[in-house]
Amino acid sequence: MEATPEARTEVSLERTLEELLAVERFEPPAGFTRRRHIEADQAAADADPEGFWADAARDLLTWETPFTQVLDDSNPPFYTWFADGTLNLSVNCLDRHVAAGRGERVAFHWRGEEGERRDVTYARLLADTQAFANGLRQLGVQAGDVVGIFLPMIPEVAVAMLACARIGAVHNVVFGGFAPSAVAERMAVSEAKVLVTVDGARRKGKRAEVKAAVDAELGELPALAHIVVVRGPGEHPGVVPMTAGRDVWYDELLAAAEPDCPAVALPAEHPLFILYSSGSTAKPKGILHTTAGYLLGATYTHRMVFDIDADTDVYWCSADVGWITGHSYIVYGPLSNGATSVMYEGAPDYPDRDIWWRIIEEYRVTVFYTAPTAIRTCIKWGPEFPGRHDLSSLRVLGTVGEPINPKAWLWYHLVIGGGRCPIVDTWWQTETGSVLISPLAGVTATKPGSATRPLPGISPALFAEDGKPLTEGTGILVITRPWPSMLRTLYKDDERFVETYFSRFGPSTYVVGDAARLDADGYFWIIGRIDDVINVSGHRLSTAEVESAIVAHEAVAEAAVVAEPDEQTGQAIVAFVTLAGERIGDAEVEAQLRDHVARRIGKLARPRRIIWADDLPKTRSGKIMRRLLRDVAAGRELGDVTTLRDPAVMAVIADRVRGAR
Ligand code: WTA
């Protein structure tokens, strides 16, 4: 039988991928000019890390009062950087570019889900930021107050963040995919004074009435004085509930506000934002970042890792602003560097599965940054979707969020990058503020699946369980010296900050929570989390958080959640559930439970599988043995069950798992 042309391309792509799997090392392509600069940085950082960061801070940031102190490590692990300097972050992201005559440069090429286009210049962004900053002040917001932001991917999200920074308010952005109840919880724990949200949001042609849903969940929040409502893009069919005296429309606030809002010079260590992230307990951690050190990390790494030339590049990070990737690499890094970015509102498969590639072609995107899970989804859809478009403008590709398997790396390299673009596999965390381990585009030789080497000024190490440093092999990833963009604490919880990150090996060793392997070339290979954090499609979720959401359902007696490997999403959630009253679940309860989790946390936390158990495997002291549940979910041979209070429990569960498959 004759193969169709499409099938033939697929066969040859498969073959090329197979052949390339044998290639261990990809040399950096020629034509990148930053190499010498980075070699100089590396030498400077090796000789004197603090001096290196001080030079970078003077070089890359605009200060109101220059700093004289660099790192203060007199009270570890509470480090400060550049503490006697003052600056304003919005000046660094906006005013200085406008003042240099680049006001008409596009900051964001915004692309709506229905194909709408809006180009937002630096001058426009500055004008809106000033007006909104005045608006926030009118609502009573002062320096140090918390402002919640729950918005879709629209330019107003950047305006809201920058307006906070202009007046020293602390923003707390909640990912748009989280449930309104998660918004309410985060507003409550951070005692937000104002929440900025949207009337309604659209997703793949459907509409969600966001404001009404948030209202329904807010309950009594004594600190929350006002809600600002942005009119989102598209049609507005619903009636938006507005509470008199509390709720205001964003556009009305903006129109009535004074246009000029002189930036406040803030101390370098003034808090910039809180971002809640999952840890090993059900209570999310309020990761706190401060102004100068964070901005320095975002600015330096965005420029160096992606080899950004603000005069010529069109950069696109496909993440959501609600995650740290969006904070550092959609908003602060690119704007501080004066770059032009694409901001896209929609999903990768609406109106069709080629929309990302269409956008790259239309805007001639040169640097593209996405997640391995997205690449794997594109592989599943097939090469014909990118194949429809001219992707020759691309010159650098990046990934973030989870380890990338070599096959996905190679597919990205060949099908999207046309074999010519270096791939930067960037390892970092909400806590680290900016990328710490990554190839530098055009400088570092890459190995598919490895995040390669630390950036200048960053000192990771691998420790054995007993804290002995390893020079090769597998161990616990730590960072042995403070760096400017590290988290400063957990919001209003210094104790948990110390306990979580600095209790294991002392106050000068930051424990990352990942395991990694170090090879003979000094390249790092990140293996994954060693705590109870699950990484679904690059999104961090805590087992305890999902368990407590499940247990909150009236039918449930007990639940234990584990991760299983998944080809598409990296990891998927498996929940073992016992129901109250000796009931055994059925499809209906299962659907209810998944829906319940979606409402309490968000859709991404819904368990992939629910296994009904009569009892959970517990030690004699009552601790659930998740290791056994992981084994049984993966269909592995069960290890030692003799330490269980009731060893028979596992046999029943194993039977159920087999039945469910
Ligand atoms: C994982 C996202 C392997 C890791 C920026 C880390 C990665 C957690 C990579 C942080 C990568 C992130 N290779 N694993 N390139 N990037 N991770 O806080 O387990 O949402 O600890 O920050 O994601 O997730 P977070």
Gap between the Cα atoms of 541 and 431, Å rounded: 15
Dig out the tokens for 356 from the structure. Answer: 């990302």
Question: 5 pLDDT band (50/70/90 cuts)?
Answer: low
What is the per-residue pLDDT across 171-187, written as a single tens digit (0 to 9) for each?
Answer: 999 999 899 999 999 99
What is the per-residue pLDDT across 228-251, written as a single tens digit (0 to 9) for each?
Answer: 999 999 887 778 999 999 999 999
How much is the pLDDT for 350?
A: 96
**Would you give the DSSP letter of residue 23?**
-
Cα 302 → chain centroid: 15
Residues linked to residue 207 through DSSP beta bridges, in sequence order: 202
Gap between the Cα atoms of 301 and 304, Å rounded: 5
Gap between the Cα atoms of 474 and 496, Å rounded: 27
Gap between the Cα atoms of 363 and 349, Å rounded: 18
Cα dist from 610 to 490, 575, 585, whole Å: 33, 5, 9
Q: Is 511 in the pocket of ligand 1 (CB under 6 A)?
A: no
User: Is the confidence at residue 3, as pLDDT, over 60?
Assistant: no
Q: Is 513 in the pocket of ligand 1 (CB under 6 A)?
A: yes
How much is the pLDDT for 1?
A: 46
User: Is the confidence at residue 380, as pLDDT, over 60?
Assistant: yes
CB 529 within 8 A of CB 513: yes
Read off the pLDDT of each residue in 127-136 and give the average, rounded to a whole number. 98
Question: 657 pLDDT band (50/70/90 cuts)?
Answer: confident
Number of separate helices (H) and strands (E) present in the chain: 22, 31
Please report, to the nearest 10 degrees, the dihedral formed by the alpha carbons of residues 354, 360, 366, 370 taken in order. Answer: -50
Dig out the tokens for 137 from the structure. Answer: 């002040």
Could you identify the atom of ligand 1 that is nearest to the CA of residue 425? 15
The strand order across the sheet containing 423-426 reads: 117-121, 106-111, 340-344, 314-317, 367-370, 396-400, 423-426
CB 478 within 8 A of CB 460: yes
How much is the pLDDT for 660?
A: 66
Ligand 1 center from residue 656 Cα (angstroms): 33
User: Is the confidence at residue 6, as pLDDT, over 70?
Assistant: no
Gap between the Cα atoms of 18 and 10, Å rounded: 12
Helix 291-305 × helix 49-60 angle, to 10°: 90
Cα dist from 639 to 452, 560, 661, whole Å: 35, 18, 21
Q: Is 528 in the pocket of ligand 1 (CB under 6 A)?
A: yes
Dig out the tokens for 501 from the structure. Answer: 């990150």
Instruction: Indicate the pairing of strand 340-344 with strand 106-111.
Output: parallel
Q: Is 563 in the pocket of ligand 1 (CB under 6 A)?
A: no
More confident call, 80 vs 646: 80
Q: Is the peptide bond before 77 cis (omega within 30 degrees of 0)?
A: yes
Q: Is 423 in the pocket of ligand 1 (CB under 6 A)?
A: no
Spell out the residues 6+ positions from residue 260 whose beta carbon is closer than 8 angstroms to its own.
130
User: Is the confidence at residue 661, as pLDDT, over 80?
Assistant: no
Question: Which mutation among 275, 373, 452, 514 tests ligand 1's pocket best, with the greatest number of atoms within 8 A of CB?
Answer: 514
Q: Is 324 in the pocket of ligand 1 (CB under 6 A)?
A: yes
Gap between the Cα atoms of 158 and 334, Å rounded: 12
Ligand 1 center from residue 353 Cα (angstroms): 26
Cα–Cα–Cα angle for 122, 128, 129, rounded to 5 degrees: 85
How much is the pLDDT for 207?
A: 92
Q: Is 277 in the pocket of ligand 1 (CB under 6 A)?
A: yes
**For the CA atoms of the chain, what is the radius of gyration?**
25
How much is the pLDDT for 21?
A: 87
Q: Is 285 in the pocket of ligand 1 (CB under 6 A)?
A: no
Spell out the residues 6+ positions from residue 1 whose beta carbon is closer than 8 angstroms to its own.
none
Q: Is 301 in the pocket of ligand 1 (CB under 6 A)?
A: no
Could you identify the atom of ligand 1 that is nearest to the CA of residue 451? 15
In a 13 Å sphere around the CA of 436, the CA atoms on its Cβ side amount to 26
Which among 577, 548, 549, 572 has a CA at the least distance from the CA of 562? 572
* Residue 622 backbone zone (phi > 0: left; psi -120 to 50: alpha; other: beta): left
The whole-chain average pLDDT of the chain stands at 94
Q: Is 402 in the pocket of ligand 1 (CB under 6 A)?
A: yes
CB 328 within 8 A of CB 426: no
Q: What percent of the chain has pLDDT over 70?
A: 98
Gap between the Cα atoms of 628 and 626, Å rounded: 5
Cα dist from 653 to 151, 427, 645, 649, whole Å: 42, 37, 15, 7
pTM for this predicted structure: 0.93
Read off the pLDDT of each residue in 545-565 and give the average, rounded to a whole number. 91
Alpha helix ranges (H) inside 283-417? 291-305, 324-326, 333-336, 355-363, 372-381, 384-387, 406-411
**Would you give the DSSP letter of residue 580?**
G
Q: Which helix (H) or strand (E) holds 183?
A: helix 180-190
Phi, psi (deg, nearest 5) at residue 25 = -145, 130
How much is the pLDDT for 302?
A: 98
How much is the pLDDT for 102?
A: 98
544 CB burial (10 A radius; 0-12, 13-18, 19+): middle
How much is the pLDDT for 235?
A: 81
User: Is the confidence at residue 402, as pLDDT, over 50?
Assistant: yes
ipTM over 0.85: yes
Ligand 1 center from residue 234 Cα (angstroms): 34
Read off the pLDDT of each residue in 402-427 and give the average, rounded to a whole number. 96
Gap between the Cα atoms of 218 and 104, Å rounded: 40
Ligand 1 center from residue 401 Cα (angstroms): 4
* Residue found under tokens 């309490």: 600
Q: Long-range pairs for 646-653 at CB < 8 Å and ≥24 separation? A: 646/615, 646/618, 649/613, 649/614, 649/615, 649/616, 649/617, 649/618, 650/617, 652/613, 652/614, 652/615, 653/576, 653/611, 653/613, 653/617, 653/629
Q: Is 450 in the pocket of ligand 1 (CB under 6 A)?
A: no
Ligand 1 center from residue 400 Cα (angstroms): 7
**Would you give the DSSP letter of residue 416?**
I
Ligand 1 center from residue 429 Cα (angstroms): 5
What is the per-residue pLDDT across 590-645, written as a single tens digit (0 to 9) for each?
Answer: 999 999 999 999 999 999 999 999 889 988 777 888 889 998 988 888 877 877 88
